[in-house]
Amino acid sequence: MNKETNLTDMILDEGVIKFNYELIPAPPIELHEYQELENWRKKLFKLKLIGEYPIEKVGYGNISKRTDHSPNSFLITGSQTGHHKDLKGDHYTLILNADLQKQNVTAKGPIKPSSESLTHFAIYKASLEIKYVFHAHSAAIWKYMVEHNNDFDQTSENIGYGTLEMAEQVQSLIGNKTYGTIVMKGHQDGIIAYAKTPEECGSLLIDLVERSQL
């Protein structure tokens, strides 16, 4: 297999939901619930940290925020919404619960959840203090983080997104931390920021944009 085929496989793999999910239909999410996330999403979209691979037409990047509906519930962008500049209430959905071992997700909302919802769930489960998770894609940042492997937490090359292995590895990398970044070596261009506030979470990514461009 040549490199180009690998890349295409990887990108096309991006939007595939690898878990079982139950979606309880519900009306669009109300603005006050997603406004804060949306404000940050707009910034990340401008920086192309969220978007769509132009040739394959596959969206990338998803962000979430912990909610108080149930212990590890969170609001997340819907599957394949990466190409939209602005999202509305029908592009967000609520994850009520998940089971990492069984690879099950229970969601409630107007759209099926992001294909990376299980990874977000694993991060929220790692610490109750983590309130925001931003998953972005950037070839430059990814390369920078992989090259500076002493400075950044990294998941293994042979672990793909949305798998139990990814969830377990992310949790062990987080340990007791309440904010930080992770580069997903087995998920080309994939990076994660997690934090207690959206400002902290967004700044972690913006800082990496700057550092990787130096």
Tell me which residues touch Zn ion (CB under 5 A): 190
| Residue (72 or 155) nearer to Zn ion, CB | 155
Cα 172 off chain centre by: 17
Secondary structure class of 99 (helix, strand, coil): strand
Shortest Cβ distance from residue 162 to Zn ion (Å)?
9
**β-strands 180-184, 153-155: how paired?**
parallel
Amino acid at 166: M
Cα angle for residues 110, 75, 195 (degrees, 5° grid):
160
Least Cβ distance, residue 25 to Zn ion (angstroms): 26
Closest CA to 80 of 107, 39, 113: 113
- Return the number of the residue (111 or 184) whose C-beta is nearest Zn ion: 184
Query: CB of residue 213 vs Zn ion: minimum separation in angstroms?
Result: 21
Q: 59, 49 in Cβ contact below 8 A?
A: no
Of 148, 127, 132, whose CA–CA distance to 204 is shortest? Answer: 132
Which CB atom, from 51 or from 190, has the smaller least distance to Zn ion? 190
Question: Which residue, among 196, 163, 193, has the nearest Cα to 180 in the 3D structure?
Answer: 193
Q: Which is nearer to Zn ion, 74 or 108 (CB)?
A: 74
Q: How far is the CB of 188 from Zn ion (least distance, A)?
A: 9
Phi, psi (degrees; rounded to nearest 5) at 138: -160, 120
Closer by beta carbon to Zn ion, 108 or else 114? 114
Q: Please state the closest distance from residue 187 (CB atom) to Zn ion, in A.
A: 6
Closest residue to Zn ion, judged by C-beta, is 190
